[in-house]
Amino acid sequence: MGKQTGIIFYTQAGYTSKTCPKCGFRPNIKFKYGSIEQSKDLLKNLDLFEYDKNKDRFIIKYSLSNFKNKQNNKKEKENVLYKNIKPKDTFEIYSNVIRHKWKNKRIKSEVLPKGVIIHGSTEKGTILRYDITKFLKSLFDNNNIDYSRNLQKQLVDNKLDSRFFKDLLYGLFLMINIRDSISSETGPESDKISCPSCLFDSTDGFQSKEFNGDANGAYNVARKGKIILDKIKQYKHDHGSVEKLSWGDLYVDNEEWDKFTQKK
């Protein structure tokens, strides 16, 4: 007990460090290679994939309803918040972000594509710095794709090999993630939030405070705590007391979390 006495509350930590504190965006679809056909099906389901010449960036627009399984057999939970609020369905993300990724091998700079440079390296591996816009441009140029027109149609109709789709989906995977962490063992240390949707960058601070990935996790855990308090209040309103309140009644699922963080 010592010098500190208090109460510890538990909540689901899912996406707390990967939810934008400004707009509520989080990675919500998977850009992962399975096969050429699966990759093309994924690209077909996007509402938009095009190059914005004026701002020199790629734009992806998608609707979650095009990706989720239409048959939802999940049992309805009790004590659910925001029942009358429809979850946000359509999202737009942009490629003008920088990402870093650790590779478990030494990599020579001359073998890297345009838009990728070595940020730091040790005997154990290398950290690569990805300029996502330049990386995608290089990928399209090397495969004779004119990204200034009908990009989405070319990606679906053209005969492209598995290596192309693996690289493309990897670039999109990096793009949609918002937490960018770099270990101090391999170069300048960094841990920031960089949102591909509203372009929030935590290096500029948040609510006049210094802000990084860990701070974002703490902030969002506290916001989940606010949801739990609302669930307790709702349960008491519906049942008259909280004597029979269960752990399940305090569970915060991803849909509730998204409704809370994305509402204006």
Contact assessment for residue 257 and residue 13, using Cβ atoms and an 8 Å cutoff:
no
Backbone angles phi, psi at 50, to 5 degrees: -150, 165
Phi-psi label, residue 211: left if phi above 0, alpha if psi -120 to 50, beta otherwise? beta
Which residue, chain included where needed, has tokens 């345009």?
Answer: 114
CA 173 to CA 260: how far, in whole Å? Answer: 25
CA 203 to CA 92: how far, in whole Å? Answer: 22
Which residue, chain included where needed, has tokens 């493309």?
Answer: 168
Q: Is the pTM of this model over 0.75?
A: yes
DSSP structure class, residue 139: H
For the beta sheet containing 90-94, the strands, ordered from the edge strand earlier in sequence to the opposite edge, are 48-52, 57-63, 90-94
CA 122 to CA 35: how far, in whole Å? Answer: 33
For the beta sheet containing 126-131, the strands, ordered from the edge strand earlier in sequence to the opposite edge, are 98-103, 126-131, 116-121
127-166, pLDDT tens digit by residue? 899 999 999 999 999 999 999 999 999 999 999 999 999 9
When pLDDT is averaged across residues 13-35 and rounded to a whole number, the result is: 94
DSSP structure class, residue 133: H
67-112, pLDDT tens digit by residue? 876 445 566 788 999 999 999 999 999 999 999 988 888 888 877 8
H helices of 143-199, where?
151-157, 162-176
DSSP structure class, residue 76: P
